[in-house]
């Protein structure tokens, strides 16, 4: 492990055009720095980095292949995000967030492991992610159909037929869902089948050898150079520590405690840094005395280490790169051969085809994905038939039918990228609406509990102030922009020196779930989407009354 720092003498060599290991390159002004060069606010093993103060130093280091090749990457910090799922009970009596299975309480929560790097390591990962992304985009843009197929982790500009929009705006999942649904509507006139596949544990099961081969193929080399190989090794043979081990009272179950704020305050005050440790030596001592444990190989398959961590700046492009040859093969067989429609959003795959080609395409997809050393989740594979149904003497509309073996469920919507598509209408996924309401009610409960504690102290009647929760339920006018203060940027003058100049920051539009709902309705041209949150006020006030009543009865 290393600190990622070098002396000023070595720094001068790293940006010297005569240095044998570093070709001449121009360092852009700070206000025109690349997107990967950005600060990060989280605490880690090593201190936070002032990217403005150390801009020239770090830019030169990270663009020096010799430095990257010898850099010792620090362990990542590991945490888990839990997402509640409202799933069917095993006995078929309905849906729930938890149920009794084999005499034990089972929670239907999905655990998503995240790993994030130290600040210097994240900058390196970000730099190489940009380099790989540029070459990957060149591969995709050489074939328009291939470019249209892969839609995740990319900035795909919205087409502007008039050419009036000077700012490049990227498409969102709303645009991707609309394009897929429009394709179904067009093909549904003659009837079409939609196949939905989900790659099982995608990031955590990527084969390292296949990933290296894809990396070499993209760079058009037989072997990775030392710098690229070191980044590859850091993303595959990574080590990590648990975030919970850094807490005051680490627990495996129950409510987790916070961090030692007194210690963090001392580190800030007396060492002038923001970090979990005052120095690398303190971190090594914590490992030596087993206060912190360093783990490795969290993902194993057939007794071999596999997978890459989610959370690194380079993870997304590596996931796309891993399936580049797969995407090309699907394009050749499904799109060109069967005249189908193919979209892949990370590990979610959609195929739209003619009903008579369904079985052949399904067999091909299952066989082809195995060549990539990953598997399709059988319980998440779905098949839908879209065709016009005579609902009544006056209504003949496009209808979705879920096909599960010999069973057909007419009217079952297709779920894709957060939306439910019925054929004749589109709605935001009901589970997402339910999650929003759960968070609203949870916020009301917390405020009610706080109000109950406070009113015992001051002798007043407990109360909740709705305006404190305004962001949860109030509609926001997107025409008003949130004011941001001026900021200073480095500008190069005529003499070649940099100086600070005040510039007005670009305003950011206010947004919340209502803005997303309204934007979805506008892009989808679906007014019913906006009506899905009509009950938010009644739900909010009912929750507020219920929890205040509980406090008064205590």
Q: Hey, where are the domains in the chain?
A: 30-143+206-305, 173-204+320-426, 432-553
Mean per-residue pLDDT over the chain, rounded:
83
Average pLDDT for 358-365: 96
pLDDT band at 444; cut points 50, 70, 90: confident
Average pLDDT for 178-199: 96
In the chain, what percentage of residues exceed pLDDT 90? 57
The candidate with the shortest Cα–Cα distance to 364, out of 206, 183, 197, is: 197
The candidate with the shortest Cα–Cα distance to 312, out of 129, 134, 155, 130, is: 129
For residue 460, what pLDDT is reported? 56
Q: What is the CATH number of domain 173-204+320-426?
A: 3.30.70.2630
Question: Taking the CB of residue 165, how many other CB atoms lie within 10 A of it?
Answer: 12
Comparing 177 with 531, the larger pLDDT belongs to 177
Average pLDDT for 330-359: 96
Q: State phi, psi for 477 to the nearest 5 degrees.
A: -80, 110
Rounded CA-CA distance 549/444 in Å is: 12
Q: Per residue in 76-112, pLDDT tens?
A: 999 988 766 666 666 666 666 666 666 676 766 777 8
The candidate with the shortest Cα–Cα distance to 418, out of 519, 486, 283, 303, is: 519
Longest dimension (CA), the chain: 85
Comparing 355 with 543, the larger pLDDT belongs to 355
Question: Taking the CB of residue 350, how many other CB atoms lie within 10 A of it?
Answer: 23
pLDDT band at 257; cut points 50, 70, 90: confident
Token duo for residue 160: 């502007």
Q: Per residue in 42-54, pLDDT tens?
A: 999 999 999 999 9
pLDDT band at 445; cut points 50, 70, 90: confident
Average pLDDT for 154-171: 68
For residue 12, what pLDDT is reported? 36
For residue 436, what pLDDT is reported? 84
Q: Can you give 297-343 as a three-state secondary structure string?
A: CCCEECCEECCCCCCCCCHHHHHHHHCHHHHHHHHHHHHHHHCCEEE
What's the pTM?
Answer: 0.83
Rounded CA-CA distance 151/431 in Å is: 23
């Amino acid at each position: 492990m290393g600190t990622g720092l070098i002396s000023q003498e070595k720094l001068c060599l790293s940006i010297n055009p005569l240095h044998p290991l570093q070709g001449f390159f121009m360092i852009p002004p700070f206000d025109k720095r690349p997107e990967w060069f950005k600060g990060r606010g989280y605490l880690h093993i090593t201190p936070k980095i002032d990217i403005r103060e150390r801009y020239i130093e770090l830019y030169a280091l990270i663009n020096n292949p010799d430095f990257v090749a010898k850099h010792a990457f620090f362990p990542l910090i590991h945490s888990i995000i839990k997402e509640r799922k409202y799933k069917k009970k095993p006995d078929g009596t309905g849906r729930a967030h938890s149920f009794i299975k084999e005499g034990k309480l089972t929670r239907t929560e999905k655990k998503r492991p995240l790993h994030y790097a130290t600040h210097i390591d994240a900058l390196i990962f970000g730099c190489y992610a940009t380099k790989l992304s540029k070459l990957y985009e060149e591969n995709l843009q050489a074939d328009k159909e291939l470019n249209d197929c892969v839609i995740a982790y990319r900035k795909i500009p919205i087409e502007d037929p008039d050419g009036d929009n000077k700012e490049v705006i990227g498409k969102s999942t709303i645009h991707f869902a609309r394009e897929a649904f429009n394709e179904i509507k067009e093909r549904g006139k003659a009837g079409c089948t939609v196949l939905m596949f989900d790659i099982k544990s995608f990031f955590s099961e990527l084969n390292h050898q296949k990933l290296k081969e894809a990396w070499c193929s993209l760079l058009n080399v037989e072997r990775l150079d030392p710098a690229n190989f070191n980044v590859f090794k850091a993303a595959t043979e990574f080590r990590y520590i648990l975030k919970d081990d850094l807490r005051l009272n680490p627990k495996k179950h129950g409510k987790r405690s916070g961090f030692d704020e007194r210690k963090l305050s001392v580190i800030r005050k007396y060492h002038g840094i923001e970090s979990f440790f005052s120095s690398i030596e303190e971190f090594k001592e914590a490992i030596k005395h087993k206060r912190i444990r360093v783990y490795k190989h969290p993902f194993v398959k057939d007794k071999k280490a596999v997978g890459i961590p989610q959370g690194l700046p380079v993870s997304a492009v590596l996931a796309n790169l891993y399936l580049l040859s797969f995407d090309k093969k699907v394009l050749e067989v499904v799109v060109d051969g069967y005249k189908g429609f193919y979209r892949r959003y990370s590990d979610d795959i959609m195929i739209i085809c003619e009903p008579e080609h369904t079985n052949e395409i399904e067999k091909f997809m299952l066989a082809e994905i195995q060549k990539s050393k990953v598997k399709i989740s059988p319980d998440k594979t779905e098949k839908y038939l879209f065709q016009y149904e005579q609902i009544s003497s006056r209504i003949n509309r496009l209808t979705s039918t879920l096909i599960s073996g010999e069973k057909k469920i007419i009217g079952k919507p297709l779920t894709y990228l957060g939306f439910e598509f019925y054929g004749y209408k589109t709605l935001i996924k009901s589970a997402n609406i339910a999650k929003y309401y759960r968070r609203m009610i949870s916020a009301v409960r917390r405020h009610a509990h706080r109000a109950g504690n406070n009113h015992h102290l001051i002798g007043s009647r407990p109360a909740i102030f709705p305006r404190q929760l305004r962001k949860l339920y109030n509609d926001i006018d997107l025409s008003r922009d949130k004011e941001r203060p001026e900021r200073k940027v480095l500008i190069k003058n005529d003499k070649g020196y940099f100086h600070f100049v005040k510039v007005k920051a670009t305003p950011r539009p206010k947004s919340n779930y209502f803005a997303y709902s309204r934007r979805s309705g506008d892009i989808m041209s679906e007014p019913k989407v906006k009506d899905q949150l009509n009950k938010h006020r009644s739900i909010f006030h009912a929750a507020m009354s219920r929890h205040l009543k509980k406090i008064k009865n205590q």
